[in-house]
Copies of this chain bind each other. A is one copy, B any other.
Amino acid sequence: MSEKVTIYDIAEKLNITAATVSRALNNNPKIKESTRELVIKTAASMNYKQNKLALALKSGRSNNIGVIVPRIDSNFFASVIRGIEEELHPNGYQVIICQTHESKKRENENLYTLIDAQVDGILMSLTDVTSENDGAFQYVLQKNVPLVFFDRSKHIEGVSSVTINDFRGGYLTTKHLINEGCRHIAHFSGDQSLEIFKNRFLGYKQALLDHGIDFKEEYVIYTKSAVEAGKEAVDKLLQLETPPDAIFSASDFAALGAIQELKERNISIPKEFCVAGFSNEPFTKFMELSITSVDQSPLEMGKMAARVFLEQVDKTETIKIEKKVVLAPELHIRKSSSRSTF
């Protein structure tokens, strides 16, 4: 370790006090111009670097923020993180990454660890496991650390959130499928204790209703967000008395599985069967049979979450802010559901 240079070293060299050095370096107006210049020059020549840990201890602010996601290796979450990092970096914050792997236990652990590490804020997307226990969240709030949910959110007093309008996403997609002539539209959903899945489902339902199509319980299948799950779900659907002629999947991966399964059964897409997904994962665009999907503008979502945090971080402690930002979803219509256009 190269000998660390502190303000005391600079002070000693110049026969002044550390306090003066500190003030000079912080542009305190009470310092004589000549002294300031001398200190700054000497600091530079001695290769002085401010010890951020000491500063953090003194000020109580670490300039770190924590980000908790189910996993980082999904395009959606990685893009959100990118947005967060890009917005926060210029403000001098470092981004600490934690993963939950959809485990509530790890979610709680991460929350406690981050608070212990004195982060200045936490931005997170919930696990898909339901839980009534808000203990860890209350702990965060009680420490007065700004907490912002993005995408996967739930209502907790004092917690802000940035989401997209999932209802609208579901509605638009379903409406589009109806416009393409589909009349028996199935839906792949996720755990509806998560608002995102609930709302996509409700949008789907409302669209059916508004267009005079009966909602059928049996058309709703709960799948994991995985290719295999999509295949199995199609298998189930095709055994119904009236099999559907379209699927609105709340997951791109399940949508892909569905398409693979349909192809294997020689069902022509989009002619006989339309499919649409959700998230606009890169592969949906790349496929030869490109997949219609709802874009969640993850980059924008990350930046927005970061901005909400920044707004809250310096506010007086007494005012509890609870901001709900809802971004507009964007339906990308592609081959898998385009009977007319392509």
A residues in contact (CB < 8 Å) with B: 1-2, 49-54, 56-57, 62-64, 71-75, 78-79, 81-82, 85-86, 89, 94-99, 113-118, 142-144, 227, 256, 263, 282-283, 286-289, 317
Quote the shortest CB–CB distance from A87 to chain B (angstroms).
12
Quote the shortest CB–CB distance from A230 to chain B (angstroms).
12
Residues of B within 8 A of A56 (CB): 53, 56-57
Given contacts A53-B56, A144-B2, A287-B286, contact A79 B73 (CB under 8 A): yes
- Number of copies of this kind of chain in the complex: 2
Given contacts A117-B52, A118-B52, contact A72 B85 (CB under 8 A): yes
Residues of B within 8 A of A82 (CB): 71-73, 99
Given contacts A2-B144, A116-B49, A288-B288, contact A85 B57 (CB under 8 A): no
A78 and B86: CB pair below 8 A?
Answer: no
Residues of B within 8 A of A142 (CB): 2
A96 touches which one: B94, B118, B256 (CB < 8 A)?
B94
B85 and A1: CB pair below 8 A?
Answer: no
A62 and B53: CB pair below 8 A?
Answer: yes
B62 and A73: CB pair below 8 A?
Answer: no
Pairs A–B under 8 Å by Cβ, sample size 17: A1-B143, A1-B317, A51-B57, A52-B117, A52-B118, A53-B56, A53-B57, A54-B57, A57-B57, A64-B64, A72-B85, A81-B97, A85-B98, A89-B98, A97-B97, A283-B286, A283-B287
Instruction: A142 to B142: give the CA distance in the assembly, Å.
Output: 41
Closest to A81 in B: B72
B94 and A1: CB pair below 8 A?
Answer: no
Closest to A288 in B: B288
B286 and A288: CB pair below 8 A?
Answer: no
Residues of B within 8 A of A287 (CB): 283, 286-288
Instruction: A99 to B75: give the CA distance in the assembly, Å.
Output: 16
A49 and B115: CB pair below 8 A?
Answer: yes
Quote the shortest CB–CB distance from A289 to chain B (angstroms).
7
Instruction: A51 to B117: give the CA distance in the assembly, Å.
Output: 7
